[in-house]
Amino acid sequence: MDLFDSLGDNSEVVTAFFLTHAMSVIGAIIILIAGYIIAGWAGKRVKDATSKSGKFDDTLVPVLSQTTRVVILVITFLLVLGQFGVQTASIIAVLGAAGLAVGLALQGTLSNVAAGMMLLILRPFKVGDAVNVAGTFGIVDEVRLFTTEMHSFDNIGITMPNSRVWGQEIQNLSKFENRRVDMEFGISYRDDMDKAIALIKEVLDADERVMAEPEPLIAVSELGDSSVMIRVRPWTETKNVWPLRYHITKSIKEKFDSNGVSIPFPQRDVHLFKKN
């Protein structure tokens, strides 16, 4: 009989224990779900607000959104631990010590974060700019905490670690409104140089995309092995650089052909000597 009495008493203790912790578990689950939902909602709201305000660069928008979401999730995690009586102050101290250890072990990864912050602060480029980073050409899609996302001109995705982007020479092809188009054309030594220059000038004057100021440069640049090289350097709006280059190259070739100016190609004369 005493055995059953002791079991009855223990069952009440066990029941009370489960009820107490069941409420903590339920509360933790509710906090976790609510925190997850609020983090997603807040991140989306920050992204929408910053993108529509016009006061924030497009490069900063995804980072601000991600940071807001992470901060809310961290707070949610601490609140969940508090449901089980865990002292959050000690947890923060432990996380700080663990963060230091992890930081020492992941120096390369953290260098990407530091480089990403420098890219966001100094902003050598923004979303949508065409850039050349260490010989890699592409259009910037997004700057994340660890990587910079781009796509090439033929629409191939490019993911570069931020440390590599920041540690290399960055050429921003879209930074200025106007750019110079550098071209060279060769003519035969038998042709009239002044005539060729006049024909090139006619082609440039006929194209509205060529800017009057600064004045286009048309000059003899080199006396090559088989041709006289004429350097052509018109200025145009940045968006017109490649269309103008293609059009001018075709138009000058057609202009030369119709006016008797030849474009030589490399050739070799072979002389045979017959021995007696």
DSSP 190-257: TS-HHHHHHHHHHHHHH-TTS-SSSPPEEEEEEE-SS-EEEEEE-EEEGGGHHHHHHHHHHHHHHHHH
Average pLDDT rounded to a whole number, residues 149-170: 91
Place 247 in a pLDDT band, splitting at 50, 70 and 90: very high
CA distance 199 to 206: 11
Counting Cβ atoms within 10 Å, is residue 137 exposed (0-12), middle (13-18) or buried (19+)? middle
First-to-last alpha carbon distance for the chain, in angstroms, is 136
Give the Å distances, CA to CA, from 238 to 54, 211, 243: 23, 11, 10
CA distance 109 to 111: 5
Do 125-172 and 178-258 show the same overall fold?
A: no
pLDDT at 57: 60
pTM for the model: 0.60
Place 250 in a pLDDT band, splitting at 50, 70 and 90: very high
Domain boundaries, the chain: 2-105, 125-172, 178-258
Which one of 3.30.420.40, 3.40.50.300, 1.10.600.10, 1.10.287.1260 gives the CATH number of domain 2-105?
A: 1.10.287.1260
Place 233 in a pLDDT band, splitting at 50, 70 and 90: very high
Query: What is the per-residue pLDDT across 12-65, written as a single tens digit (0 to 9) for each?
Result: 655 665 666 666 677 777 877 887 888 888 878 877 777 776 666 666 667 777
The CATH architecture that domain 125-172 belongs to is: Roll (2.30)
Q: Answer whether 167's CB lies under 8 Å from 118's CB.
A: no
- Nearest to 142, CA basis, from 115, 160, 154, 156: 160
Query: What is the per-residue pLDDT across 190-226, written as a single tens digit (0 to 9) for each?
Result: 999 999 999 999 999 999 999 999 999 999 999 988 8
pLDDT at 119: 84
pLDDT at 23: 67
Residue 41 structure tokens: 């909602």
Query: What is the per-residue pLDDT across 105-141, written as a single tens digit (0 to 9) for each?
Result: 445 667 787 888 888 888 888 888 999 998 899 999 9
Place 7 in a pLDDT band, splitting at 50, 70 and 90: very low
pLDDT at 58: 65
Side by side, the strands of the sheet bearing 157-161 are 157-161, 147-151, 136-143, 130-133, 170-172
pLDDT at 12: 62
pLDDT at 236: 96
Q: How many CB atoms lie within 10 A of CB 113?
A: 16
Question: How large is the C-alpha radius of gyration of the chain?
Answer: 34
Average pLDDT, the chain: 81
Query: What is the per-residue pLDDT across 74-104, written as a single tens digit (0 to 9) for each?
Result: 787 777 776 666 665 655 665 665 555 555 4
Q: Answer whether 129's CB lies under 8 Å from 140's CB.
A: yes
Query: What is the per-residue pLDDT across 167-191, written as a single tens digit (0 to 9) for each?
Result: 889 999 999 999 999 999 999 999 9
pLDDT at 106: 45
CA distance 169 to 159: 17
Q: What is the CATH code of the structural domain delimited by 178-258?
A: 3.30.70.100
